[in-house]
Amino acid sequence: MELCKFHTVAFVVILFCFPIAYGWGTDGHFIICRLAQPRLTKAAANAVSQLLPAYAQNDLGSVCSWADRVRFRYHWSAPLHFIDTPDNLCTYQYKRDCKDGDGIQDRCVAGAINNYTTQLLSYGKASSASQYNLTEALLFLSHFIGDIHQPLHVGFTSDRGANTIDIRWYNTKGVLHHVWDTNIIETAEKRFYDSDVEELIDALQKNITTVWSAQAKAWEACNKIACPDLYASEGIKAACDWAYKGVDENSVLEDDYFLSRRPVVNLRLAQGGVRLAATLNRIFG
């Protein structure tokens, strides 16, 4: 598969490229990886610790946005962050939708999750050292499981996942996609958590173990190692039911939109964290 082929680039140099947010913003990816890491089994935690670069200091969250930064160097990776679906159908089908702008099959976020899952399954095998860069595979997989839980990363083709829908977020001009990447999370942090992402993470962790505990067991379920098609189907439904709904070009989005959509964002962040952990636990045994 073409996704497996990339050039080796100095890893530390790439890390310090100027960051641009393309999926969840930096906080969104940080939250998902921070929710996931404490849920790892001993075997998975050991594997993750071995694969993380030393500068991460065993903190998966600290490198969870790496895949956005390397888009400057790994241009081939750009289509792997999202899925374009037919406008207004509000459905997802892998064979129909998982392709890049040139029509090359498997080049979408669901295909990328499948690919990097397969790579990581080679961990501990003698052939893996020369065939794959498993550190990069771990960072890509962790990031892409986050991306597929952002509803507008499984959005409509014509507006590029709402990247071309101009809106105003309170008094600030922007695009609808960015509202879901960043604005809802940052507004929630400022309004409810004293601008402290750690407080938001703690609140989500508590919900996962209390009010969402039964649901969290269902979120983990997967009859394969990874289940990106399920997550993508949920994503386009959330995009239609919540992200796109009631929004027109130049809409002004304020409290009505923020307060009604915030629970959806919280749910998708929690699901992303739980499922990332479950996937890594299945991969590493």
Instruction: Give the CATH number for residue 108.
Output: 1.10.575.10
Split into its structural domains, the chain has a count of: 1
**CA contacts within 13 A on the Cβ side of 208:** 28
**Side chain identity at 142, as an amino acid letter?**
S
pLDDT computed for residue 18 by the predictor: 32
Q: Are strands 154-156 and 166-169 parallel, antiparallel or unpaired?
A: unpaired
CA–CA separation, 186 and 80 (whole Å) = 25
Q: What CA–CA distance (Å, rounded) separates 201 from 269? A: 10
Mean pLDDT (the chain) is 92
E-only strand ranges, the chain: 83-85, 154-156, 166-169, 172-175, 251-253
Residues spanned by the domain of 77: 2-284
Residues 96 and 167: beta-carbon distance below 8 Å: no
In which band, very low, low, confident or very high, does the pLDDT at 94 lie, cut at 50, 70 and 90?
Answer: very high
CA distance 111 to 144: 10
- Yes or no: say if 175 and 166 are a contact pair by the CB < 8 Å rule: yes
**Is the C-alpha dihedral spanning 153, 155, 157, 161 positive or negative?**
negative
Using DSSP's 3-state secondary structure scheme, residue 43 falls into: helix
CB atoms within 10 A of CB 17: 14
Q: Contact, 128 vs 96, CB < 8 A?
A: no
pLDDT tens per residue across span 218-263: 999 999 999 999 999 999 999 999 999 999 999 999 999 999 999 9
Question: How far is 259 from 118, CA to CA, in rounded Å?
Answer: 39
11 pLDDT band, cuts 50/70/90, is very low
The DSSP bridge pattern shows strands 166-169 and 172-175 to be: antiparallel
Cβ atoms of 276 and 284 within 8 Å: the answer is no
- Say which DSSP state 222 is in: -
Which whole number is the average pLDDT over 106-123?
Answer: 97
Separation CA 53–CA 222 (nearest Å): 29
pLDDT digits (tens, 9 = 90+) for 183-218: 999 999 999 999 999 999 999 999 999 999 999 999
Q: How far apart are CA 50 and CA 173, in angstroms?
A: 43
Judge whether 34 and 273 are in contact, CB under 8 Å. yes
Give 256-261's long-range contacts (Cβ < 8 A, gap of 24+): 258/184, 258/187, 258/188, 261/180, 261/184
Q: Of 81, 71, 75, 57, nearest to 17 (Cα)?
A: 71
* Cα separation, 98 vs 105, whole angstroms: 6
Position 10 scores a pLDDT of: 36
Full-prediction pTM beyond 0.75?
yes
